[in-house]
Amino acid sequence: MTDTAASAPLYNRVALIGMGLIGGSFSLAARRAGLVGHVAGHARTEATRARALELGLCDSVHASAAEAAADADLVLLCVPMRAMAPVAEEIAPALKPGATVSDVGSAKGAVFEAVAPHIPEGVHLIPGHPLAGTEHSGPDAGFAELFENRWVILTPNAETDPEALARLRAAWEGCGANVDEMDPAHHDLVLAVTSHVPHAIAYTMVGVADDMRRVTQSEVIKYSAAGFRDFTRIAASDPTMWRDVFLTNKDATLEILGRFTEELFALQRAIRIGDGDHLHAYFTRTRAIRRGIIEAGQDTAAPDFGRTPPKPGTPKA
């Protein structure tokens, strides 16, 4: 392979439909690694488009998603889940043969249902989900290091073109991510456990605290312990995105919420009857999960009891 071939980008033209945290970070990471050529961006508002151009997230901005997608080798849908179907319908006539369409949504079964009917023959649909993010949103939230040592899950099917899949995998790996492949339904169940239900619990706990705050004046805010502060960080995530996540991954989320409710009832009973052995055994077993996350390199064991202000753009654990 010549030096010229070795340095050629994986995708000559990439269209980012949505230029917030994930789309912006992908652009910064991919451009830094020389993985992409021209980046065309689209966002709903003129202000976001102008800011994305100013920040160097893209080389050109377009008022419509179809304009951005025209002649693109990779189209990355970085929009809320319930916006994917109308966006896919809009860009379909502009997609060139051989292009790859992917996304960054949190529920994969819903992406196939929403997007696949609009994808023309000869265009490759490979849904994806980067397990990285912060509670911040918008073009200013993006940073090139977001995906380093984080996981990206791709959900191809039996008809997926192997070469298109390998190229998309290489792009995410070039951004610093670890890449795995998974069946869409299994992905949605796993993410209900690791992300969606934890967010539901965080939103609920912060909601309870808000009710309490009205009774205790400022004490809930003033005396927030580290656990509650983590809840508030999670519950500060983009409300539009999380509304769509729960509505599009409804079945898996409800299944895991049911399991959570059963576990909660068992814990309530142990506390009520003073079953210390049950509590100690339960907490010992669950503690092992935390150790596993640290050993997998997905967080650090360094102590931080909320005393160190996080750096802007620091990824969530």
Residue extents of the structural domains in the chain: 3-182, 186-295
Where are the alpha helices (H) located in the chain, listed in sequence order?
3-6, 21-32, 46-54, 65-69, 84-91, 108-115, 162-174, 184-191, 197-216, 219-222, 226-235, 239-248, 250-273, 276-295
**pLDDT, average across residues 243-271:** 91
pLDDT of residue 4: 39
What's the pLDDT band for 157 if we cut at 50, 70, 90?
Answer: very high
Gyration radius of the chain over CA positions: 21
pLDDT of residue 167: 97
Q: Of 159, 177, 57, nearest to 116 (Cα)?
A: 159
| pLDDT higher than 60, residue 254 | yes
Distance CA 42, CA 67 (A): 8
| pLDDT higher than 80, residue 293 | no
Q: For residue 56, is it left (φ>0), alpha (ψ between -120 and 50) or beta?
A: left
Distance CA 65, CA 67 (A): 5
What's the pLDDT band for 311 if we cut at 50, 70, 90?
Answer: very low
**pLDDT, average across residues 244-268:** 91
What's the pLDDT band for 25 if we cut at 50, 70, 90?
Answer: very high
pLDDT of residue 219: 72
What's the pLDDT band for 202 if we cut at 50, 70, 90?
Answer: confident
pLDDT of residue 217: 58
**pLDDT, average across residues 42-51:** 92
pTM: 0.81
Architecture of 3-182 per CATH?
Answer: 3-Layer(aba) Sandwich (3.40)
**pLDDT, average across residues 150-155:** 95
How far are the Cα atoms of 51, 60, 142, 253, 264 from residue 314, in angstroms, in the given order?
21, 27, 10, 27, 32
**pLDDT, average across residues 142-148:** 92
pLDDT of residue 214: 65
Same topology between domain 3-182 and domain 186-295: no
Percentage of residues in the chain having pLDDT higher than 70? 88
pLDDT of residue 309: 44
| pLDDT higher than 60, residue 301 | yes
What fold characterizes domain 186-295? 6-phosphogluconate dehydrogenase C-terminal fold (1.10.3660)
**Among 66-75, 230-239, 301-310, which is the least confidently predicted range?**
301-310
pLDDT of residue 307: 45
**How far separated are the first and last CA of the chain, in Å rounded?**
40
Q: Of 168, 166, 160, nearest to 184 (Cα)?
A: 160
